[in-house]
Amino acid sequence: MSNIVTLGEIMLRLSPRDNLRVVQSNEFDVCYGGGEANVAVSLSAFGHKTYFVSKVVKNEIGEACLRSLLAHGVNIDYIARGGNRLGIYYLETGTSLRPSKVIYDRANSSIAESTINDFDFSTIFKDKNWFHFSGITPALSDSCAKITELALIEAKKAGLIVSVDLNYRKKLWTSEKAISVMRPLMKYVDVCIGNEEDADLVLGFKAHGVDVNKGTLDKNAYHEIFKEMKKEFGFKVIASTLRESFSATHNGWSAVMLSDDKFYVSNHYDINPIYDRVGGGDSFSAGLIHGLLTLSDKDALEFAVAASALKHTILGDFNEASIEEINSLVKGNTSGRVVR
Amino acid sequence: MSNIVTLGEIMLRLSPRDNLRVVQSNEFDVCYGGGEANVAVSLSAFGHKTYFVSKVVKNEIGEACLRSLLAHGVNIDYIARGGNRLGIYYLETGTSLRPSKVIYDRANSSIAESTINDFDFSTIFKDKNWFHFSGITPALSDSCAKITELALIEAKKAGLIVSVDLNYRKKLWTSEKAISVMRPLMKYVDVCIGNEEDADLVLGFKAHGVDVNKGTLDKNAYHEIFKEMKKEFGFKVIASTLRESFSATHNGWSAVMLSDDKFYVSNHYDINPIYDRVGGGDSFSAGLIHGLLTLSDKDALEFAVAASALKHTILGDFNEASIEEINSLVKGNTSGRVVR
Amino acid sequence: MSNIVTLGEIMLRLSPRDNLRVVQSNEFDVCYGGGEANVAVSLSAFGHKTYFVSKVVKNEIGEACLRSLLAHGVNIDYIARGGNRLGIYYLETGTSLRPSKVIYDRANSSIAESTINDFDFSTIFKDKNWFHFSGITPALSDSCAKITELALIEAKKAGLIVSVDLNYRKKLWTSEKAISVMRPLMKYVDVCIGNEEDADLVLGFKAHGVDVNKGTLDKNAYHEIFKEMKKEFGFKVIASTLRESFSATHNGWSAVMLSDDKFYVSNHYDINPIYDRVGGGDSFSAGLIHGLLTLSDKDALEFAVAASALKHTILGDFNEASIEEINSLVKGNTSGRVVR
Amino acid sequence: MSNIVTLGEIMLRLSPRDNLRVVQSNEFDVCYGGGEANVAVSLSAFGHKTYFVSKVVKNEIGEACLRSLLAHGVNIDYIARGGNRLGIYYLETGTSLRPSKVIYDRANSSIAESTINDFDFSTIFKDKNWFHFSGITPALSDSCAKITELALIEAKKAGLIVSVDLNYRKKLWTSEKAISVMRPLMKYVDVCIGNEEDADLVLGFKAHGVDVNKGTLDKNAYHEIFKEMKKEFGFKVIASTLRESFSATHNGWSAVMLSDDKFYVSNHYDINPIYDRVGGGDSFSAGLIHGLLTLSDKDALEFAVAASALKHTILGDFNEASIEEINSLVKGNTSGRVVR
Amino acid sequence: MSNIVTLGEIMLRLSPRDNLRVVQSNEFDVCYGGGEANVAVSLSAFGHKTYFVSKVVKNEIGEACLRSLLAHGVNIDYIARGGNRLGIYYLETGTSLRPSKVIYDRANSSIAESTINDFDFSTIFKDKNWFHFSGITPALSDSCAKITELALIEAKKAGLIVSVDLNYRKKLWTSEKAISVMRPLMKYVDVCIGNEEDADLVLGFKAHGVDVNKGTLDKNAYHEIFKEMKKEFGFKVIASTLRESFSATHNGWSAVMLSDDKFYVSNHYDINPIYDRVGGGDSFSAGLIHGLLTLSDKDALEFAVAASALKHTILGDFNEASIEEINSLVKGNTSGRVVR
Amino acid sequence: MSNIVTLGEIMLRLSPRDNLRVVQSNEFDVCYGGGEANVAVSLSAFGHKTYFVSKVVKNEIGEACLRSLLAHGVNIDYIARGGNRLGIYYLETGTSLRPSKVIYDRANSSIAESTINDFDFSTIFKDKNWFHFSGITPALSDSCAKITELALIEAKKAGLIVSVDLNYRKKLWTSEKAISVMRPLMKYVDVCIGNEEDADLVLGFKAHGVDVNKGTLDKNAYHEIFKEMKKEFGFKVIASTLRESFSATHNGWSAVMLSDDKFYVSNHYDINPIYDRVGGGDSFSAGLIHGLLTLSDKDALEFAVAASALKHTILGDFNEASIEEINSLVKGNTSGRVVR
């Protein structure tokens, strides 16, 4: 069991029942989620001690959000309380030819307006092993970018392994801004997760022969990109999920990884139907961190891709799949026979 | 933006949650819909001014029905109030091998018992461009047949374009009765929508080589039928959707159209899973009307078929898809990737 | 119309809404079910008089359970009242790569703790035609094994046809215990239903070339096993469903039967998506009993497999499909077109 | 245990959740009910064999309706199947200053359009003790009035006790019509239930000093009316509930009865809050029938008023209170302490 | 029928089901509301043409909000589209000793950040009779204060009657700020609605002998204050509701008004239980405007207080009571007897 | 902030929505609760570190139960995992004249079948201040009685203050058994909570002049009993709530306490309507423990009675009221005015 810290935003998620549209709904299902919180929850389910660092408004909505983290075993001691609001995202879950739709209302959230005084990273990182963040956190505000950098400096000082999920969000910043903020942070990163599009828009890489909008993905092209990325940034591990989007409810799912100069291609899963794909990438990150901490590289990748494949069958941002269930899938049990 | 009038029945739709059966349900989801109302709602969403003409009972159910139209931007000034009841249909949504089931309780509705005195079509059609009706309206009662005929006469007098969706309903009348009522009305019609079965049962056409119950559909046969129909009735445009029924949740979907002696075959969509196929035909009619008013013939057909394909992913009779979403599908974006 | 008796346990079934997990749920859908009760309900829907024999606790939960049987036309006159509790099972309905999960809390139920004094089988079997039980009933407790044996003796005395669904449940007993209890009961059985795994674990048969966990099933191997089983136990009819598990939501479904030395292979159904597969085997047993009572052998098997295929599209343990709907499927209508 | 027959209409009841209004609702709670069916259900719960006579449409809605009766132990063998529809009533449950509202859509129901050929009363009344009807049944249609008369003639021939609940419904007929139909039927009636308003509008009595719309009710006036009614019609028992309407959620509740020249005034209950008052009168009728069959006159009245007081705390038309619960209330236990 | 304009903010309202707390809820009921929008909706229900002026974000939440207004018959032609977000308020509905709780998340809404360029009041007020606003609108932002002032100038220019609901919101501004902004606006106001606390905090009045937190309210003191207010500001009509708060579910409700030097005290209503008191004041304002436009002063006050009493029995911000229902209450029908 | 340990059973609570009866429900609301767990949850909300000691089954239901505790800030490190099942109780929430009903299905739970080897109390009580248990825990089984005794011995050894809630449960044991087990445990107890009935049935006290079933309660009689109890058992503090049961939805609520020879009578609260009274006593115990740890005796009692009064307005076993809300009630704010 390791001690793992993640830093980022957690939001209130409001979504119509089933596949209804927002304009049709007079009730919203409520849950809470956000990239780095999702990673912490998964890792907690895998048996690690996890600490989520953020700032959360001090009202009933904030309280409900914290309860959700507590219920999933995430430590909230380093979550600052205060500020104006919890960010919100509305999720319309699509089906078949109709894509899912995310509508953000996250500006002016407590974390976006937090300052470096809200966090004492030397205390936070004491006796911890791993620090994970994503490209979303520094995109929230200039202050959050500063906080992220400070966290990285302290994490390295304290000897933690650092992972990042590049996760480009065009609603939060431009590619130019992203590159100017994120490139300098890469020197602190050991494990880099992100697809070709993220590498392009967040780090300025121009990949060739890879089109993430196509159904088919060129794995060799990924090998090339990863080798270049490793050369430039010195990442120890680089990984990316490969999503084939056949429809809103039918995806292919696999992943690739470069580690120790070895390139791994995972098993491929056919996910049909998808129940909720939000948080799929986060569950991969969590699976990979768990895998790298406890398994061989090859098994780590297989664990990560199976964990995130299962996430697509679970409602909400959080991956409620257990290690046993994930391992059963890794072993090839995709038959879906009733477990009694 | 055009001013479009539709005439027909709107019903209360009661349906069990999800795929439950009526006998299992102790609650029904409530919405309102009916062929011509559905067309008006779609056209309103596409930016047109729409007017639904009908008669609706003066009680809370009628009030709720009107609110539903108002909420979707449909003008209700020409809806007469009174009579005994709003018609009802119960919808059991099937899945996989089990077909959906519609149970009608629509007899003695206010519209079925309405008379020509309930409507002043010369006022209604003033400053309007297009009039749409379906084969359901005259089937409701002899009085409704008379009202429909009167509406057509006045529509033509006022210079409107007229479209019809033939839409045979065997619970409402026999084919013999349908033919005797509908054939004489065709002289007023510019745009005729209906598949081979409708043409046979409503207009008395005997088509060859087309079996709508088969998975595969012979598009050439449609071309032949359309040419004959054009010759006989002088329709300017004839169109039909082509549904391949693989299961209750999986259909193929495309359409064909004859216009200006050109025969068009649309893109083909694979819809899997279907969320709600009721109103699929109506959303095609609306899409076609919008297309013929604003686009080239070819683009009109593609818009109509994409609009109605999307309808299958939306619960309720009304098509809640936007022009932007439909155009994205027309451009080939069927990947279902999350829109953020 | 026949008079049919079934004996066994009925449980309270608690399941999260849709495909939620138990840990995510703050409400459970409630229904009641259990192998032999499910069979009685189906047979009642097919027009037979059915009698369910069990013991049910005398409180509100027991009352609700009985109401569920009554509502489905099952006679409850021979259900003893008393004991401590109704058994419970929690059902998590999986999707795609995630299997469904059943969590039992059935120990110490009223039926498990019932004694032979709770039932007067000579009265129960008076003027009845058929008796059905499953391998679950004698597995509940030693007392239940005794009750089952007594029931079989009395059923034979009264001249009833006897059917069994072998239905191995590893949470209830070991294979060794099952074999020691069940083998001696086979001499009373006319119709034996069970797959290769059941035959192995419940009756001690070692089959060759059949792997029920594989997607593909070797029908010839079943023919061989059935012939051997017939030789040893003298069954008049032996049948098994063949489930191909592609995923939790996609199965292939068919069945095989040996009767009068003829081996029948049924139509094959592709079920996608599955709505609820619990009770699928029970609906097959009921279909087969109905078929053997009213149809030719071949038609009996087709009715049974179509009935149980439809069950997969219906929520709850009980098969709410009508004879008309089943016959429509038997005739090949798998198109899922709306029934109006 | 007696064998009791009731005759009348059962309807589909659709009501918004909680105290929402119809225009606010996109789902309706579903249950089934109607005066005489409600009486049968109560009497079944009290241990009697009950038979409901009606005509119910042969579709899924009719099937669901019958299941509801079966679940409550009511025999449905004498319910004719066929006709066009099940009547519907929409119920908006008020609160405080806002009254509940019932919107009927019951015209052209199967029972309203049934004929005397649908029922064979000599068979129906064989081996039965008691026949109950209400003033609603003959009001449904002239044919129903005829059926009611025929039933009364046959009931008397077969020696049954006959009770009526006068129950005036102004939406169904005028007072003049009611009087012309109902007065001639009174000669068959032994037990007459109805308040002063019913006596006035249904039987033509002009009462003095009683205003049912007032909060306070003059019990002596009731004594006078009852004596006159007895003289004129020869009723053996006359009873009426006394409702004090303080608000939609707060009522006083008691009853008076004349039997064997003795006038009884029941205990008075303060019901606050009322959960659902629909069916309150029917539960009184059922309680009185049960009481007159098994208790002293005084106890019969107390049982009836306590049963119907409890009904106000139960959702739906049917009274789900048990004999034990009613007796506990009769004994004065109104404290509402938790029963463990 | 008059043409009435209101100006202000409309918010998304999210509330737990029933009386659950936010921290307990995994679903929120959704509706839309805000002081001036609520007034417009009521007036539309009373038969007036109403126009709501605001700015609403251009996304699905904004669209749903507008649909809600359209469904209630409110014209949305003068609602500017754009900006960042729709304000939100979370409502926990209390009960008994536990008060309801409102949690605002309304900062940075589209209306708060709107500018005078978003509205063309000379067009808006053309052919309109009445303009209503509240103390909330200018409190939203300095820009909104400016917009309000501009609206008032133009309204007066166009000859409209102007009403205000003072409505102090301590979360939005201080009393000092409120006084500095609101006092200068009073010269445009004809009808002023507000209790003693509002008069104090918004206009700087120091009232004597009135304590709105007490159960009992001194009506004479109100007469004095109103006379002083009239002298200073020249209001033609001044009115206030009088709420006696016995508990979260039990209030007394009445109102007082000064008009033409006559002081009116309304009927008193005991509201128990309260279903939803949010919007109670707005429904009074709407009732008063309707009353002053169509009734005598005395009847206007009675209509307003009855309308707002009924609002307490209806869920949501909007008053769904009809003129008929309000008039029935005005006439003294508080018995809550079922309306059939 | 103190460190507080509680020991006992936590159950799955299943309850129909609103005030429906079990037999009417096809869904149950799910929550978790039990006397000592409820106390721990309250104390955690008041800012204390709390540890719940129990044994919980190792399946999804057990997991969901633990999540509920974690979400409320209760430490679960000392909860043994294993055994057969989580106990269940079904709750029907009554209203008005109909009492709430609890149906237990708790036999053979993991905690009832736990042994002293499941708990290491010397570790558990290290660095803790207070230990609370109730009369339910030793009633679960002989083994649980032994565990309780062992816990008490170790608690005293470790210097903790000990409180007990006598809480007699007639379904679990007889009064004779209760007395024989509980009396010997009293020597370890500092704070004894329980009403006169508990004192009688659990400790063998015969009280005079107190009838807990009566609406009125004689406070002086309580003073006498408390003095006697103190003399015999040496309790430092004795307290009891006083519930006046007017109906299922309307109670009076207050409490009395003897401490340091001073007798305190609390404020009296009128609770109408009650939303959920289950857990009312536990919330009093928690309030009293918090009060005795942080306030004067008088204030402690007022805090406890206000906390538990508020609990009656909150759904579920757990008291979701905050210190601020409780203090507001203590200060006399019972007006229920909206908190904005």
The string of pLDDT tens digits covering residues B73-105 is 999 999 999 999 999 999 999 999 999 999 999
Q: How large a percentage of chain F has pLDDT more than 90?
A: 93
E269/D contact by beta carbon, under 8 A: yes
Partner-chain residue, chosen from F309, F314, F336, that has the shortest CB–CB distance to E245? F336
Of the candidate ranges B223-237, C281-295, E36-50, E144-158, the one whose mean pLDDT is the lowest = B223-237
Residue in chain C lying closest to D72 (CA): C67
Chain C residues whose CB is inside 8 A of the D73 CB are 70
Q: What is the pLDDT of residues A205-238, one digit of tens each?
A: 876 555 545 545 578 889 988 999 999 999 999 9
pLDDT at D215: 43
Integer Cα distance of F88 and F82 in angstroms: 16
pLDDT at F221: 85
Partner-chain residue, chosen from A20, A102, A171, that has the shortest CB–CB distance to B315? A20
Region B62-66: mean pLDDT is 98
Of the candidate ranges A214-223, D140-149, D326-335, E90-99, the one whose mean pLDDT is the lowest = A214-223
| CATH of B3-330 given 3.40.50.2300, 3.40.1190.20, 3.40.50.2000, 3.40.47.10 | 3.40.1190.20
Supply φ then ψ for residue C304, to 5 degrees.
-65, -45
pLDDT at C104: 98
Overall size of chain C counted in residues: 340
D71/C contact by beta carbon, under 8 A: yes
Give one DSSP letter per residue of A41-75, joined into a string: HHHHHTT-EEEEEEEE-SSHHHHHHHHHHHHTTEE
B68/E contact by beta carbon, under 8 A: yes
B23/D contact by beta carbon, under 8 A: yes
pLDDT at A58: 98
Q: Do residue D272 and residue F247 have CB atoms under 8 angstroms apart?
A: yes
Mean pLDDT of chain B: 95
Longest Cα separation, chain D: 53
Q: Do residue C19 and residue A269 have CB atoms under 8 angstroms apart?
A: no
Region E181-200: mean pLDDT is 95
D29/F contact by beta carbon, under 8 A: no
ipTM computed for the complex: 0.95
Strand-pairing partners, residue F81, are: F56
Q: Do residue A95 and residue B338 have CB atoms under 8 angstroms apart?
A: no
For residue C105, the distance in angstroms to the closest alpha carbon of chain F comes to: 7
Q: Do residue D340 and residue F169 have CB atoms under 8 angstroms apart?
A: yes
Q: Do residue D67 and residue B23 have CB atoms under 8 angstroms apart?
A: yes
Q: Which subunits sit against D, judged by 3+ Cβ pairs under 8 A?
A: B, C, E, F
D315/B contact by beta carbon, under 8 A: no
Nearest to D272 by CA among D254, D293, D248, D291: D248
pLDDT at F207: 64
Q: What is the pLDDT of residues E13-47, one digit of tens each?
A: 999 999 999 999 999 999 999 999 999 999 999 99
Task: Return the residue in C68, C70, C88 with the most chain F beta carbons within 10 A, the one to mutate for interface testing.
Answer: C88
Task: Return the residue in C72, C277, C315, C324 with the most chain B beta carbons within 10 A, the one to mutate for interface testing.
Answer: C315
Q: Do residue C339 and residue B100 have CB atoms under 8 angstroms apart?
A: yes
Task: Return the residue in A315, A322, A327 with the most chain C beta carbons within 10 A, the one to mutate for interface testing.
Answer: A315
pLDDT at B218: 77
Percent composition of chain C: helix, strand, coil (DSSP 3-state, to 5): 40, 25, 35
Chain D residues whose CB is inside 8 A of the E337 CB are 99, 213, 245
Residue in chain B lying closest to E64 (CA): B71
C225/B contact by beta carbon, under 8 A: no
Q: Do residue E60 and residue A22 have CB atoms under 8 angstroms apart?
A: yes
Task: Return the residue in E30, E67, E75 with the most chain B beta carbons within 10 A, the one to mutate for interface testing.
Answer: E67
D155/E contact by beta carbon, under 8 A: no
Overall size of chain B counted in residues: 340
Partner-chain residue, chosen from D23, D94, D250, that has the shortest CB–CB distance to E320? D23
Chain B residues whose CB is inside 8 A of the D23 CB are 60, 63-64, 67
Partner-chain residue, chosen from F23, F67, F105, that has the shortest CB–CB distance to C64? F23
CB B273 within 8 A of CB B249: yes
Q: Do residue E70 and residue B68 have CB atoms under 8 angstroms apart?
A: no
pLDDT at F198: 92
Region A96-106: mean pLDDT is 97
Residue-range domain boundaries for chain C? 3-330
With 60 as the cut, is the pLDDT of residue F178 above it?
Answer: yes
Residue in chain D lying closest to B86 (CA): D105
Tell me which of F279 and A207 has the higher pLDDT.
F279
Q: Residue window 245-264, chain C: list those with CB within 8 Å of chain D.
A: none
With 50 as the cut, is the pLDDT of residue D53 above it?
Answer: yes
Integer Cα distance of F214 and C254 in angstroms: 67
DSSP letter, residue D135: T
Q: Do residue F336 and residue E100 have CB atoms under 8 angstroms apart?
A: yes
Chain A residues whose CB is inside 8 A of the E107 CB are 84-85, 108
With 50 as the cut, is the pLDDT of residue B215 above it?
Answer: no
Q: Do residue B90 and residue D29 have CB atoms under 8 angstroms apart?
A: no
Q: How confident is the model at residue B211 (pLDDT cuts 50, 70, 90)?
A: low
Of the candidate ranges B199-208, B229-238, D255-264, E277-286, the one whose mean pLDDT is the lowest = B199-208
pLDDT at D147: 98
pLDDT at F277: 97
Q: Do residue C337 and residue B99 have CB atoms under 8 angstroms apart?
A: yes
Mention every residue, 6+ apart, whose C-beta is less than 8 A from residue F159: none
C101/A contact by beta carbon, under 8 A: yes
With 90 as the cut, is the pLDDT of residue D213 above it?
Answer: no
Chain B residues whose CB is inside 8 A of the A248 CB are 313, 336
Q: What is the pLDDT of residues D229-242, one digit of tens each?
A: 999 999 999 999 99
F321/A contact by beta carbon, under 8 A: no
F149/C contact by beta carbon, under 8 A: no
Question: CB contacts < 8 Å between A and E, how many?
Answer: 69
Q: What is the pLDDT of residues D291-326, one digit of tens each?
A: 999 999 999 999 999 999 999 999 999 999 999 999
A98/E contact by beta carbon, under 8 A: no
With 80 as the cut, is the pLDDT of residue A71 above it?
Answer: yes
With 60 as the cut, is the pLDDT of residue D142 above it?
Answer: yes
Q: Map chain E to HEC letters.
A: CCEEEEECCCEEEEEECCCCCHHHCCEEEEEEECHHHHHHHHHHHCCCEEEEEEEECCCHHHHHHHHHHHHCCEECCCEEECCCCCCEEEEECCECCECCEEEEECCCCCCCCCCHHHCCHHHHCCCCCEEEEECCHHHCCHHHHHHHHHHHHHHHHCCCEEEEECCCCCCCCCHHHHHHHHHHHHHHCCEEECCHHHHHHHHCCCCCCCCCCCCCCCHHHHHHHHHHHHHHHCCCEEEEEEEEEEECCEEEEEEEEEECCEEEECCCEEECCCCCCCCHHHHHHHHHHHHHHHCCHHHHHHHHHHHHHHHCCCCCCCCCCCHHHHHHHHCCCCCCCCEC
Partner-chain residue, chosen from F59, F61, F105, that has the shortest CB–CB distance to C85? F105
With 90 as the cut, is the pLDDT of residue C218 above it?
Answer: no
Nearest to F294 by CA among F130, F51, F72: F130
Task: Return the residue in A97, A195, A282 with the most chain B beta carbons within 10 A, the one to mutate for interface testing.
Answer: A97
Q: Do residue A98 and residue B325 have CB atoms under 8 angstroms apart?
A: yes
With 50 as the cut, is the pLDDT of residue C247 above it?
Answer: yes
Integer Cα distance of D78 and E306 in angstroms: 50
Predicted structure pTM score: 0.97
Chain F residues whose CB is inside 8 A of the D325 CB are 98
B19/C contact by beta carbon, under 8 A: yes
Residue in chain B lying closest to A90 (CA): B340
Q: How large a percentage of chain F has pLDDT more than 70?
A: 97
Of the candidate ranges B198-202, C75-79, E120-124, E273-277, the one whose mean pLDDT is the lowest = B198-202
F314/E contact by beta carbon, under 8 A: yes
Q: Which subunits sit against B, judged by 3+ Cβ pairs under 8 A?
A: A, C, D, E
Q: Do residue A99 and residue B337 have CB atoms under 8 angstroms apart?
A: yes
C97/A contact by beta carbon, under 8 A: yes
A102/E contact by beta carbon, under 8 A: no
Q: What is the pLDDT of residues E191-232, one digit of tens each?
A: 999 988 899 999 998 766 555 555 455 788 899 889 999 999
Region C121-144: mean pLDDT is 98
pLDDT at D220: 83
